[in-house]
């Protein structure tokens, strides 16, 4: 593998990289950084956890100059991802003198205006709040030299495409631009054709939707039995755990029950205030709590490196959501595990997902001797949800009104800061409030 010092990066950057404990570049970093440094645009598709944030951040930090105005712009679909990207850029650029501001819906405009007034060189933003600042004149794009679209397919799913086009039309034509996406639907390819100049494509692990490197298992049970088995699976573990639920109501119920059973858990769901969501995510990232209970938005782009197990408490609402969920474990080449709890009514949906998984799956019903008794009407029931493609909408989806997203009354004007990104529902060690190392009824007969 190539070392960062061989990529032509400045010593100030190398110092920050070493302080973060890195020495050798991941494949996407090795491939993308030299191309961006030549001034060529990039389209990147890579397996989750592959290090793409460092790829675009380091190339941007290498070229941007302190105290020369806003030169770098990163757009991300959710506030949590925007905050995470900002945090990574600040760490890599610790010794460069380059300042970063994060702007997103749900945070007071005054705080963001204060940060911008102090002077920054890089802005990381959700599209809705960025447009608010552009309309106020608190952010100008005239000096932009580097633009990044991260999680582009998610922004497409959330209805941001008009916003992105509006923003890019205001940016200088002469800039280095990179677009990163887990999938490459037609709309993303069209966007890249319209706004990127002769981009070099890096489709690393583009076809890897199998969750390779993750031990995957499933258990078909009655819905009312899920909590019992969830407790059995997580009780003996020492690493961090993410439990994905289908709705915010289910998320609250599961988190509440885990607290009652003396597990240390936090939840992220749509009705929480921004400060509470940030507090919950901070506790989980720092290892102060072991379990995060969340809806699907937390499955995209949130990098918590020590997740030992992902539990799909509910079968996800589309195929890609499954792979993004389980991708929260096995980060950056590590190993991980994922268990999906399949209620009888979700067997049809689960079978659709199973057909996309390219690695062996563990059937826990067989391994644990649990019989399935699905009523005949449910056996004949076709899957109730639509899978695949950008038309599927999960809980984080942005609403539409007036016949077009992001516009009101047909006037073409953009809405203010209470847009969809203000409602986005994204999202080491173990602190215990009870003994979790006893009573695992499957410890002697199953690796799960």
- Comparing CA positions, the residue from 156, 148, 163 lying closest to residue 189 is 156
Within a domain: 54: yes
- Work out the angle between the directed axes of helices 319-326 and 347-354 (0-180°, nearest 10): 70
Predicted confidence (pLDDT) per residue in 398-415, tens digit: 333 333 223 333 333 333
**Which residue carries 């597990």 as its tokens?**
263
First-residue to last-residue Cα distance in the chain: 34
pLDDT of residue 399: 33
Least confidently predicted of 262-271, 321-330, 381-390: 381-390
Buried b (16+ CB within 10 A) or exposed e, 223-262: eeebbebbbbbbbebebbbbbbbbebebbbbbbeebeebe
pLDDT of residue 379: 56
Task: Please state the pTM of the whole predicted model.
Answer: 0.59
Same domain, 116 and 259: no
- Comparing CA positions, the residue from 85, 83, 122 lying closest to residue 106 is 83
Residue percentage of the chain with pLDDT more than 70: 77
> 172: Cβ–Cβ under 8 A, 6 or more apart, which residues?
141, 142, 143, 144, 145
User: HEC profile for 94-157?
Assistant: CCCCCCEEEECCCCCHHHHHHHHHCCCCEEEECHHHHHHHHHHCCCCCCCCCEEEECCHHHHHH
Record the tokens describing residue 331, joined without a space: 């980060």
Predicted confidence (pLDDT) per residue in 112-169, tens digit: 999 999 999 999 999 999 999 999 999 999 999 999 999 898 888 888 999 999 999 9
Domain boundary residue among 152, 174, 203? Answer: 203
pLDDT of residue 331: 63
For residue 305, the enclosing domain spans 214-380
Answer yes or no: is pLDDT of 312 > 90. yes
CA angle 367, 373, 376 (to 5 degrees): 140
How many folded domains does the chain comprise? 2
- Sheet strands side by side (includes 265-268): 265-268, 291-294, 240-244, 307-312, 336-343, 214-221, 361-363
Within a domain: 282: yes
Within a domain: 439: no
Predicted confidence (pLDDT) per residue in 235-289, tens digit: 999 889 999 998 888 999 999 999 999 999 999 876 777 678 778 888 888 888 9
Question: CA dist 310 to 6, 92, 216, 341, Å?
Answer: 36, 29, 9, 11
Same domain, 301 and 245: yes
Q: Compute CA 403 distance to the chain's CA centroid, rounded to the nearest angstrom.
A: 29
Least confidently predicted of 173-177, 263-267, 302-306, 372-376: 302-306
- In a 13 Å sphere around the CA of 159, the CA atoms on its Cβ side amount to 19
pLDDT of residue 239: 87
Tell me which DSSP letter residue 247 carries: S
Contact 308, 214 (CB under 8 A): no
Same domain, 233 and 322: yes
Answer yes or no: is pLDDT of 35 > 90. yes
Beta-bridge mates of residue 414: 407
pLDDT, greater one: 196 or 430: 196
Within a domain: 304: yes
Mean pLDDT score, 9-29: 91
Same domain, 81 and 123: yes
- Measured CA to CA, the distance from residue 45 to residue 120 in angstroms comes to 29
Domain boundary residue among 178, 203, 228? Answer: 203
Answer yes or no: is pLDDT of 64 > 80. yes
Same domain, 219 and 170: no
Same domain, 46 and 173: yes
Within a domain: 305: yes
Mean pLDDT score, 23-27: 87
Answer yes or no: is pLDDT of 321 > 50. yes
Answer yes or no: is pLDDT of 227 > 80. yes
> 311: Cβ–Cβ under 8 A, 6 or more apart, which residues?
230, 233, 234, 241, 242, 243, 244, 338, 339, 340, 341
pLDDT of residue 337: 93
Record the tokens describing residue 137, joined without a space: 């004149």
- Average pLDDT score, the chain: 80
CATH of the domain at 337: 3.40.50.300
Contact 133, 116 (CB under 8 A): yes
Within a domain: 440: no
Least confidently predicted of 202-206, 233-237, 315-319, 431-435: 431-435
Same domain, 193 and 228: no
pLDDT of residue 333: 57
Same domain, 246 and 364: yes
pLDDT of residue 119: 95
């Amino acid at each position: 593998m190539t070392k960062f010092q061989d990529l032509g990066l400045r010593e100030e950057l190398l110092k920050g990289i070493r302080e973060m404990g890195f020495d050798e570049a991941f494949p996407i970093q090795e491939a993308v950084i030299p191309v961006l440094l030549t001034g060529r645009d990039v389209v990147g598709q890579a397996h989750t956890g592959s290090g793409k944030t460092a790829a675009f951040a380091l190339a941007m930090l290498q070229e941007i100059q302190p105290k020369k105005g806003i030169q770098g712009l990163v757009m991300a679909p959710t506030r949590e991802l925007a905050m995470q990207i900002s945090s990574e850029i600040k760490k890599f650029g610790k010794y460069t003198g380059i300042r970063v501001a994060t702007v997103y819906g749900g945070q007071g405009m005054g705080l963001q205006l204060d940060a911008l007034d102090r002077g920054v060189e890089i802005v990381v933003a959700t599209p809705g709040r960025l447009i608010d600042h552009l309309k106020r004149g608190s952010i100008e794009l005239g000096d932009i030299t580097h633009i990044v679209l991260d999680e582009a397919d998610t922004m497409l799913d959330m209805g941001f495409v008009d916003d992105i086009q509006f923003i890019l039309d205001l940016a200088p034509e002469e800039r280095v631009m990179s677009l990163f996406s887990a999938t490459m639907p037609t709309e993303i390819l069209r966007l890249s054709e319209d706004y990127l100049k002769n981009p070099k494509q890096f489709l690393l692990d583009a076809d890897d939707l199998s969750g390779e490197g993750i031990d995957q298992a499933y258990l078909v049970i009655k819905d009312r039995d899920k909590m019992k088995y969830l407790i059995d699976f997580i009780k003996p573990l020492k690493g961090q755990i993410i439990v994905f639920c289908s709705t915010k109501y289910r998320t609250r119920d599961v988190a509440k029950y885990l607290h009652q059973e003396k597990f240390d858990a936090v939840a992220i769901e749509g009705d929480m205030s921004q400060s509470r969501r940030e507090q919950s995510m901070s506790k989980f990232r720092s290892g102060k709590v072991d379990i995060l209970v969340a809806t699907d938005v937390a499955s995209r782009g949130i990098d918590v490196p020590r997740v030992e197990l992902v539990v799909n408490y509910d079968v996800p609402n589309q195929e890609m959501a499954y792979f993004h969920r389980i991708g929260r474990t096995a980060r950056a080449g590590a190993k991980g595990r994922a268990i999906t709890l399949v209620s009888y009514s979700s067997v049809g949906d689960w079978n659709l997902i199973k057909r996309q998984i390219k690695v062996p799956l563990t059937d826990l019903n067989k391994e644990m001797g649990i019989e399935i008794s699905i009523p005949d009407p449910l056996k004949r029931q076709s899957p109730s949800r639509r899978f695949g493609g950008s038309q599927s909408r999960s809980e984080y989806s942005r609403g539409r009104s007036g016949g077009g997203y992001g516009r009101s009354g047909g006037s073409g004007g953009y809405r203010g800061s209470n847009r969809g990104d203000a409602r986005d529902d994204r999202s080491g060690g173990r602190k215990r409030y009870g003994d979790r190392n006893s009573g695992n009824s499957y410890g002697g007969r199953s690796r799960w």
